[in-house]
Amino acid sequence: MKAWLLKDFGLKNLQLSETATPVPQQGELLVKVSAVSLNFRDKAIVDGFYEPEMIPKPLIPVSDAAGVVVGTGPGVTRFIEGDRVTSTLYSRWVDGHPKHNEPDFCFGAPLPGGLAEYMIIHEESAVRAPDAMTDVEASTLPIAAVTAWFSLMDYGHLQPGQTVLVQGTGGVSLFAAQIAAAHGARVIATSSRDENLAKTKALGGWAGVNYKQHTAWEKQVIELTDGKGVDLLIDVAGGDGLNQSVAATKAGGLIAQVGFLTGQTTALNLMPLFFRQTTIRGIAVGHRKSFERMNAFLDDHKVKPVIDHVYAFDDAPKAFEHLSRGPFGKVVIKVAD
């Protein structure tokens, strides 16, 4: 089969190659990949700053995939040939508390990902693709949408009328804005671009703050919330900006620590954390059951993914370059028709 293989770190070392088509073993599905979507994780893996010692080489990268079951290994009962499925990043985390070794079983590293004509997905980690979505749309769900949903619902227990802050207008944040708004929450978005703030409002956002113009954006958020701060903040920026997130969150409020766009370490001021009694939880996407609940919600509320651009399979490196420039929503690679 054709596959993009990461032979060494760096985008120039992502090369279109021929490799053996995998054979499904006990409980596994052979999936003909229709589309994959890119996440910051995929870029960080290619660039070599995502746990580099954990990355096997050569690697078929990209964790988020949607496709059609074309073969099954012995013992498969959940799916049959012809079913449309998506991957789940944490491929062994089905429900409940995560186990310590969930990261060892992620697609797109260390397990082979979806940037190939075929991939193996265990039937326990496959999720039925929503009927109302194309495979291109469904491919955007496994990381960005589930992370947003898990943060808002499984962790945040979001209630209608509460206020949520999302940072930037990338994949996770736009899904979080759409889901929170559909649930009846007020959404404040930050962005480096005014036009993106306007587009986020059109998706249901309530207010926007340009974090480039207002470097002390937390003060704007406090003003917008009558001096209180937001109920739940989804932090995708990381780094020392976490102190601003604490300041922008209400007393007793919640922060879902999702990303590290500005840094993987932070110098956190503890006194404001104590005074505001903020809870910060690290988020690792979410489990399959949460994914399935989200799909039902997206269907009920007719929420569709925001896709910035769809690239052809042969143009995969251009899709990675687009992700580096900062997309509005998701960047997808169409693998097959």
Instruction: Name the site residues for ligand NAP (rule: CB under 6 A).
Output: 39-41, 143-144, 147, 167-173, 190-193, 196, 211, 236-237, 258-262, 283-285, 323, 326-327
Give the nearer residue to ligand NAP in terms of CB position, either 43 or 250: 43
CB of 16 to ligand NAP, least distance (A): 23
The owner of tokens 């959404």 is 187
Please give the C-alpha separations between residue 135 and each of 85, 259, 334, in angstroms, as whole numbers: 9, 26, 9
> Of the two residues 133 and 319, which places its CB atom closer to ligand NAP in the complex?
319
Q: From CA 277, how far away is CA 224, in angstroms rounded?
A: 21
Cβ at position 168, least distance to ligand NAP in Å: 2
Are the C-beta atoms of 36 and 152 separated by less than 8 Å?
no
Count Cβ atoms below 10 Å from residue 199 Cβ, excluding itself.
19
Apex 49 CA angle, 45 and 50, nearest 5? 55
CB of 230 to ligand NAP, least distance (A): 14
Q: Least CB distance from residue 11 to ligand NAP, whole Å? A: 15
CA distance 83 to 118: 15
C-alpha torsion 147→317→260→119, nearest 10: 40
> Shortest approach of ligand NAP to residue 290 CB, angstroms?
12
Residue, CB closest to ligand NAP: 170
